[in-house]
Amino acid sequence: MPDDEPAGADADAGVEEGNTDGADRGTAAEGLDDVDPDQLRPVIASGELEDGDRVIAEIDGREIAVFRVNGELYALLNYCTHQGGPVCEGLLSGTLGMDEDGTFTWDREGKVIACPWHGWEFDITDGYHLASERYRIPTYPVTERDGQIYVVL
Amino acid sequence: MSSSGSKTQQIRSLSDLEVVVDTDFHLTERQEDFLPYLDDPFDSLLNRETGGDDYGFLSSLFPSHGMLGPVTIGKVDNPPVRTKRQVLDGKELIEWDRAIVTPTLNLYLGGVHHHELAAALASAYNEWILDEILDPDEGIYGAAVVAPQRPAEMAEEIDDRADEEGIVAIMLPSSICNPIFGDDKYHPIYRAAEDARLPIMMHNAAGATMIRFPSQWQAMKRQLPIHVTAHPMMHMVNIADMLTQGIPERFPDLEFVIQESGLGWYPYFMRRMDHDYRAAKYDAPLLEKMPSEYLADQFYLTSQPVEGDDDPAYLQSVIEAFDGQNNLMFSSDYPHFDFDMSEEILKTIRGNFEVDEVKNIYGETAEDLFAF
């Protein structure tokens, strides 16, 4: 991934903003090119976050997790909107779906985080609970430049 | 301002409470934790280093359900609670002052096939928690487990444990019993607990509740318990499965009318389905919206037998809790023995609902649904 191409989430536009306490959906990749440098918060050196790994950092008083999955970066608050569990410390895997023939499928591998307290599943690409858009983990724009990963606050 | 209102305002957080008691804080005991506490002959029989090939079965003496729950598949990763230290870790998280520790594996005790062994396992578990877990100085209290298979022996167990420091209740694993708990067979347990002034905690094991159900039904020797439980319970079983299998999603233009089960279970069931579904979306992949939304859109409830018809506040809250103004339809059940007269709801609800809402319940909703 080029250093100047930020890896935001690719959620569909038009979905209403949830109650995300100031978080951004991270959808507008182009929006990160001219981000105010004062908003960049260093998280980890690029080389220290392998594909499939995550890092949880305390940034401005918030625990924020950054995941690298299939070359893309995603940043979410490590706080479950259900009962406050450390959602980003849970199992990162996929989830069961079903195709039109009624056959189980394994979907979204590497993009579903399950809160270790109660198992609520969220899509790390947009923070939304898999079952209900009423629930969402705040997400943050994340960018990688000059060998360093930053989230934007 | 009411006195209750001012009381509520004084309590803003847990720290404003003088005491917090957690009445169901589970251990996640494994056989290996309490098998060493078995008495003979089972100690000599089972606690051996070598000999025998159990084909893997005896790795769990308790019946296994094999369900793919969120812990099983790793979606939930809560820490084990098998030592006092781990209990205290949980105390810190939940913030209780006192807790009654309850078992997990031993909730399945009623399903242990060997009855004498089941009694011995109960005693071993109790010895284990007394020796390694309970500590009233730390607020850790416990419920002594009894095996429903052997009431006479368990009465002795209750007598033996009642005066032990930290034992404050009896745990009667309640889902895999046979016969069910009204039977004379259980009187020794009840008598012993009553004499010891220890309340009996009843806790089901979800994964095994249905194992004995045909025989449990057979054991209900009278009409009253069957009639009270059968209708709402069977509806819950069927509708929970229909929702999980996506029936309303597969047949989006189909509507269902749920009959003869009373009212109060229904708003409970809607919320309970949503509550569990939020943690188990993977189990019902066809659903596109919350279970309660399918119920609101495609299911209707008929009214008889109306429970609480002498309690207007109850009926109002229950009906509103499932939008009965739009989903509830009057029914009489005439001429069955428990039929409701036409005014049975009306006289109770007419003061609490709008005219149009009462009209809906008594006919307008049915007029729309059935397209006469």
**Model pLDDT for residues A29-41, shown as the tens digit of each residue:** 445 777 888 899 9
Candidates A91, A98, A132; nearest CB to B285: A98
B77 contacts in A (CB within 8 Å)?
89-91, 116
B3-211 is a CATH 3.20.20.140 domain: yes
Cα–Cα distance for residue pair B114/B120, rounded to 1 Å:
10
Cα–Cα distance for residue pair B372/B368, rounded to 1 Å:
8
pLDDT score of A21 more than 60? no
For chain A, give the mean pLDDT. Answer: 83
Cβ–Cβ gap B278/A114 under 8 Å = no
CA distances from B27 to B79, B128, B195, B349 (A): 10, 12, 27, 46
Mutate to test the interface with B, among A81, A98, A122, A123 (most CBs of B within 10 A): A98
A29-152 is a CATH 3.30.200.20 domain: no
CA distances from A107 to A13, A96, A130, B340 (A): 22, 6, 12, 50
Q: Hey, which bits of chain A come out as E strands?
A: 40-45, 54-59, 62-69, 72-77, 92-98, 104-114, 121-123, 139-140, 142-145, 148-152
Whole-number pLDDT of residue B19: 93
Cα–Cα distance for residue pair B333/B305, rounded to 1 Å:
8
Q: What is the mean pLDDT of residues A134-139?
A: 96
pLDDT score of A150 more than 90? yes
pLDDT score of A90 more than 50? yes
pLDDT score of A17 more than 60? no
Whole-number pLDDT of residue B5: 53
**Which one, of B163, B127, B164, lies nearest residue B145 by Cα?**
B127
Low-confidence ranges of chain B (pLDDT < 70): 1-9, 51
CB pairs under 8 A between A and B: 56
Cα–Cα distance for residue pair A4/A68, rounded to 1 Å:
16
Whole-number pLDDT of residue B245: 93
Can you give the residue ranges of every domain in chain B?
A: 3-211, 222-370
In three-state secondary structure terms, B203 is strand
- For residue B63 the two structure tokens come to 């019946």
A85: phi then psi, degrees, rounded to nearest 5: -70, 160
Say if residues B94 and B21 touch (Cβ distance below 8 Å).
no
Whole-number pLDDT of residue A37: 87
Cα–Cα distance for residue pair B370/B104, rounded to 1 Å:
48
Can you give the residue ranges of every domain in chain A?
A: 29-152
> Which range has the worst mean pLDDT, A14-18, A100-104, A124-128, B134-138?
A14-18
The residues near A86 (Cβ < 8 Å, ≥ 6 apart) are A63, A78, A79, A80, A115, A116, A117
| A104 vs B: CB within 8 A | yes
In three-state secondary structure terms, B254 is coil
Fold match between domain B3-211 and domain B222-370 = yes
Within 10 angstroms of residue B369's Cβ, the number of other Cβ atoms is 13
A84 contacts in B (CB within 8 Å)?
none
| A86 vs B: CB within 8 A | no
Whole-number pLDDT of residue B67: 81
Cα–Cα distance for residue pair B152/B190, rounded to 1 Å:
11
Whole-number pLDDT of residue B60: 81
B74 contacts in A (CB within 8 Å)?
91, 93, 114
Cα–Cα distance for residue pair A108/B264, rounded to 1 Å:
39
Residue of B nearest to A89 (CA): B77
B222-370 is a CATH 3.30.70.1290 domain: no
A126: phi then psi, degrees, rounded to nearest 5: -140, -5
Handedness of CA B50, B56, B59, B62 (dihedral sign): negative
Render pLDDT for A55-65 as a digit per residue (tens, 0 to 9): 999 999 999 99
Within 10 angstroms of residue B299's Cβ, the number of other Cβ atoms is 20
